Amino acid sequence: MKQIVVISGKGGTGKSVLTASFATLAKNKVMVDCDVDAADLHLLLHPVIKERHQFRSGKKAVIDRKLCTGCGSCIAVCRFDAVSGGFAIDPISCEGCVLCSHICPTGAITMEENLAGEYFVSNTKYGPFVHAKLGIAEDNSGKLVAKIRQVAKEIAERDKLDYVIIDGPPGIGCPVIASLSGVDCAVVVTEPTLSGLHDAKRVIEVAGHFKVPVKLVVNKYDLNEEMTGAIENFCGDNGVTVIGKIGFDKAVVESMVAGKTIVEYCDGGIKEEIVNIWGKVAV
């Protein structure tokens, strides 16, 4: 079983379009959407939720009003202004530092497990799909990504699947690291702009740190062929294989409006390029 992550260093490069196409082209696979802050792969894969699970991570303070004498010590010690004048804890502001629970003279404050989000195992016409939704203002996206990757890996092992195809989150932070760790190949999708090159460099560096082999795709390469050349030069100098260049095609937007993956939506041109790219990823 091979784990493949598609990443970009930033959002809006066409990463999910490529991942959804891989979902259509790969035969025996499970898909995972690791962009738990702003998941979008479900818009193309149309999942039917089969299992829904709570994701708990970290702790938040809770005040038992029956035990509280109103001494105000918790308000005084909380550096995050999470305790209101009415002695209630704002769960969004509480950082779970536990200080107030130690300081409370009546034992009115306990630390309770925090519901940080949900994750789902779904059926799609392309195969099983694991996805998630992080709660508002939650910052445990790395842990949630690790969780859904573990669930997807277990499904792949149980069903003897050939691929785990991961739609990675944007950026280079914790959730990206959680998406990259232990994969067999990272496909970096970039666009021919200065910021595209900059972001691709950063994410390639992160992948290099974890010794993950990288393959690169330039999306909309024909919008700036000079910059595409600069990206190819950078890749050549740094041992990264450019496995494909996808031209700008308005059929991509049309396919999204139609709720289809681009390889389902059209023939020739862009479809052929993506089929070629998949052929170089699947080896």
Binding site for ligand SF4 (CB under 6 A): 61, 63, 68-74, 77-78, 80, 82-83, 87, 89, 94-100, 104-106, 108-109
Q: Which is nearer to ligand SF4, 95 or 249 (by Cβ)? A: 95
CB 263 within 8 A of CB 25: yes
Q: Using CA atoms, how far apart are residues 260 and 274, in angstroms rounded to an integer?
A: 15
Q: Which residue number, 17 or 109, has a Cβ lying nearer to ligand SF4?
A: 109
Total count of residues recorded for the chain: 283
Shortest reach from residue 111's CB to ligand SF4, in Å: 7
47 touches 151 (CB < 8 A)? no
* CA 114 from centroid of its chain's CA atoms: 21
Contact 243, 231 (CB under 8 A): no
**CB of residue 78 to ligand SF4, shortest distance in Å:** 3
* CA distances in angstroms from 182 to 3, 22, 203, listed in the order given: 8, 20, 15
Of the pair 95, 118, the CB lying nearest ligand SF4 is at 95
Residue 210, CA distances (Å) to 83, 100, 176 in order: 41, 39, 11
Q: How far is the CB of 117 from ligand SF4 (least distance, A)?
A: 19
Q: How far is the CB of 94 from ligand SF4 (least distance, A)?
A: 3
Q: Least distance (Å) from ligand SF4 to the CB of residue 115?
A: 16
Q: Which is nearer to ligand SF4, 88 or 194 (CB)?
A: 88
In this complex, which beta carbon is closest to ligand SF4, that of residue 64 or of residue 159? 64
Q: How far is the CB of 118 from ligand SF4 (least distance, A)?
A: 23
User: 70 CB contacts (<8 Å, ≥6 apart)?
Assistant: 87
DSSP 223: G
> Count of alpha carbons within 13 Å of 27, Cβ hemisphere only?
5
Beta carbon nearer to ligand SF4, 48 or 67: 67
